[in-house]
Amino acid sequence: MNSLSMFPANLTDMVGSLLIIVFSFLSLRYAYLLTKNQPDNFLWGFLFYFCITLAAFAISRAVGHLVKQVLVIGGKEEHWVVIAPLSGGFNTLLMISLAAVTIYYHKGIEGYRAIEQKAKNLKSTNKELKQTAAKLHEINVHLEELVDNRTKELSASEKKFRNFFINSKDMVFFCDSENRIVNMNVSGLEILGYSFNDLPPLTLHDIFFNEDDLNNCSEEMISHGFIEDLEVEFKREDGTLISILLSAHAVFNEEGTFTGCEGIAKDLTRVKTMMAQLVSSEKMASVGQMAAGVAHEINTPLGVILGYSQLLMDDFPADTEEGESLEVIERQTKACRKIVADLLKFSRQSESSREDIAMNEMLSDILAVTEHSLNMSHIQVHQNLSGHLNTVVGDTEKLRQVCVNLINNSHHAMEEQGGGDIYISTKNSDDGKNVITTVRDTGHGIPDKIRSSIFDPFFTTKPVGKGTGLGLSVSYGIIKEHDGHIEVESPIINKESGATIKGTAFHIILPALLNESGVVTQTNQQAL
């Protein structure tokens, strides 16, 4: 049997060995280029080292096969027998290394993915840090500008609040949870009559007249958080009462605990006075219309009764019973006619004359007539009449009647106490547009409860037969007719010392005479 030739097999073995070396180095070069292009890519790095191991294995195995073929062809097979175990062992070692790299490939991938995820997280965190750093840098750059703008806004807001607090004509106050007033504007102190430079510690208990009103306000604020347009009475430093319209809001801290309140109070005293005067004016107008009708209706029958009673008195002696009865009829009829005359004056049905009046001269004439009766009652008259008094225009007789009524009222107020003093003064107002005449006494004064009623028709505190209650009503109407007004003060507050003076003062304010140029006219009046 002829043996087959081994040349084709040997040639194929040699060519295959060379091709293994070529392909392994081509793979190694491609893996190197991938690694160079993306050095951070774990997969390309692993593939590069895998190709190095594969190239080493290819070289080892190919060289072993080539050496074997060369030795066999050269007839030196005994040398291959010696080299073969070494070549096989070295190939086996390289095969094991290649297998180990392949086996732990997935572990490397997991590690790579974990590292890559951490890298992404770090990259995202780094990006956020960069953005935050950019924002901080921007804030830092514009911090001074932002602080300056915010400071200006706060300053403007504080200025608005302070202007409101200082310039408000109403009372603005703040108090703590113990009702202690911690701050109050100047207008509030003026309303309460306190001095800013000598201000004692104040609480709401000091200024609320009615303790129940304060308790109700506190309960309402704690339960609802505010009170609105509540009408209460406040007590001034001198003890007088004023009507107040109160609105306030409760202040709570972050825990919801009541810490105090802030409020605004409006003085309603002047408004109430004006309303009372308006009611009084309407009442007097109504009563005036009624009085005019009544006076005209009964004046004629009274004249008839008086005439017949006087005729009958000629027929009966005065010491007889009939004569005494007729004297009573005559006296009471004359009293009725006086009441009718007062009603007619009150209704202002008679026309008024208009002439220039020197108030000082008119008062001097009145005192010349009344001073004797005043001295008989131990009443001393003090005069303080301005020597540069402006002229007023009006009805002399009617204004004389007003002054006589006021002096007589002062006389009666001090008659019971056995004497006193009457102070009569005249002066021009600060702007010179009005003339102020004041009649003040040192009598018992006018109680608070009746002060608002003294100008009402038929209101009197005198005993029956001593007065009709029309004197002040008539005086009020006459002053209104002269475009003036009359004010009452009782008790009297000394403007210089602030002390309270016993008695009553009536102030008659009449407009001064203006010439064609609008300048106040004066007459030479004697100062007494």
Supply the DSSP string of 334-391, one letter for each residue.
HHHHHHHHHHHHHHT-SPPP-EEE-HHHHHHHHHHHHHHHHHHTTEEEEEEE-TTPBP
Q: Judge whether 451 and 490 are in contact, CB under 8 Å.
A: yes
Listed by start position, the domains of the chain span 7-103, 168-267, 273-347, 355-511
> Looking at residues 319-342, what average pLDDT do you find?
80
Q: pLDDT tens digits for 136-177?
A: 877 777 777 777 777 777 776 666 666 766 777 788 888 888
Global pTM? 0.42
Q: Say if 273-347 and 355-511 have the same CATH topology.
A: no
With pLDDT > 90 as the criterion, what percentage of the chain qualifies?
Answer: 3
- Look at residue 72 and tell me whether its pLDDT is greater than 70: no
Over residues 448-493, the pLDDT tens digits come to 777 766 776 665 666 544 555 667 777 888 888 888 988 888 887 7
Which two tokens mark 261? 């309140």
What is the rounded end-to-end Cα distance, in angstroms, of the chain? 180
Q: Which CATH number applies to 355-511?
A: 3.30.565.10
241: helix, coil or strand? Answer: strand
Per-residue model confidence (pLDDT) at position 3: 53
Give the lowest-confidence range in 110-124, 200-214, 379-393, 456-470.
456-470
pLDDT of residue 195: 76
What phi and psi, each to the nearest 5 degrees, are found at residue 226? -165, 165
Average pLDDT of the segment spanning 212-226: 85
Can you give the C-alpha Rg of the chain in angstroms? 59
Q: What is the pLDDT of residue 79?
A: 66
pLDDT band of residue 1 (cuts 50, 70, 90) is very low
Cα 299 to Cα 60: distance, rounded to the nearest angstrom = 159
Please tell me the distance from the alpha carbon of residue 96 to that of residue 104, in angstroms, as a whole number.
Answer: 12
Choose between 271 and 476: higher pLDDT. Answer: 476
Higher pLDDT, 386 or 112: 386
Residue linked to tokens 């009573």: 328
Contact present, 238 and 260 (Cβ < 8 Å): no
**Run of H or E residues at 413:** helix 396-415
| pLDDT top residue among 228 and 66 | 228
Q: Quick one: pLDDT band at residue 352, thresholds 50, 70, 90?
A: low
Return the higher-pLDDT residue of 92 and 7.
Answer: 92
Q: Per-residue pLDDT for 262 more than 80?
A: yes
| Nearest CA among 235, 265, 260 for reference residue 171 | 265
Predicted pLDDT of residue 349: 46
Query: For the purposes of burial, counting CB atoms within 10 Å of the CB of 274, is it exposed (0-12), middle (13-18) or buried (19 or more)?
Result: exposed
- Please list, in sequence order, all residues whose beta carbon lies within 8 angstroms of the beta carbon of residue 204, skipping any fewer than 6 positions away: 175, 179, 181, 214
pLDDT at 331: 82
Q: Which residues pair with 357 in a beta bridge?
A: 392
Torsion over CA: 64, 69, 74, 77 (sign): positive
Instruction: Find the range with the poorest average confidence among 48-62, 151-165, 385-399.
Output: 151-165
CATH code, 168-267 = 3.30.450.20
Burial of 128 (C-beta count, 10 Å sphere; 0-12/13-18/19+): exposed
Mean pLDDT over the full length of the chain: 77
Tell me which range, 148-152, 344-348, 407-411, is most confidently predicted by mean pLDDT: 407-411
Q: Give residues with Cβ within 8 angstroms of 217, minimum separation 6.
A: 208, 227, 230, 232, 246, 248
Q: Which of 399, 395, 390, 339 is nearest to 366 (CA)?
A: 399
Give 309's Cβ-side CA count (13 Å radius). Answer: 20
Tell me what pLDDT residue 528 has.
47
Q: How far apart are CA 79 and CA 275, in angstroms?
A: 142
Percent of the chain with pLDDT over 70: 74
The one-character DSSP state at 229 is E
The pairing of strands 379-385 and 420-428 is parallel
User: Encoding tokens for residue 181?
Assistant: 């007033």
Average pLDDT rounded to a whole number, residues 86-95: 70
Cα separation of 242 and 347, whole Å? 33
HSE-up (13 A, CA, CB side) for residue 451: 16
List the beta bridge partners of residue 112. none
* Residue type present at position 485: H
Mean pLDDT computed over 86-114: 68
Pairing of strands 258-267, 504-511: unpaired
- E strand or H helix that includes residue 307: helix 269-313
Q: Which of 119-128, 332-341, 482-491 has the lowest mean pLDDT?
A: 332-341
Amino acid sitting at position 5: S
Task: Output 166 or 322, whichever has higher pLDDT.
Answer: 322
Mean pLDDT, residues 350-366 taken together = 80
Q: Which CATH number fits domain 273-347: 3.30.70, 1.10.287, 3.40.50, 1.10.357?
A: 1.10.287
